[in-house]
Amino acid sequence: MSSVTSTWRQRRQAARNRRALDRALAGSNTPAMHHELSTLALTSGQFSSVTR
C-alpha cells in the first residue's frame, strides 16, 4: 500500500510543478524570461519537454 501512496504523491507533486511552471510562463513578460524559465525547468530534470 505504501508504494501506491508514494506513487500518488509523486504524481501530485509533478502536477503541482507543471501548474506552477505554466503560471510562471504565462506571467513572463519577455521572451528572455520565458527562455530562462524553460531552461531552468528542463535542467532540473522534472520536465522532459516544455511548450508554451
| pLDDT for the residue numbered 52 | 46
**Cα 33 from Cα 15, distance rounded (Å):** 22
Cell readout for 4 is 501506491
> Domain range holding 6?
2-43
pLDDT of residue 16: 92
Q: What is the pLDDT of residue 6?
A: 92
Q: How far is CA 20 from the centre of its chain?
A: 6
In a domain, 18, yes or no: yes
Residue 52 lies in a domain: no
Q: In degrees, to the nearest 5, what angle opens at C-alpha 32 toward C-alphas 46 and 14?
A: 15
- Report if residue 48 sits inside a domain: no
**What pLDDT is recorded for position 2?**
86
Total of domains in the chain: 1
Chain segment 1-52, per-residue pLDDT in tens: 589 999 999 999 989 988 998 999 999 999 999 999 889 888 887 666 555 4
What is the pLDDT at residue 31?
92
pTM of the prediction? 0.68
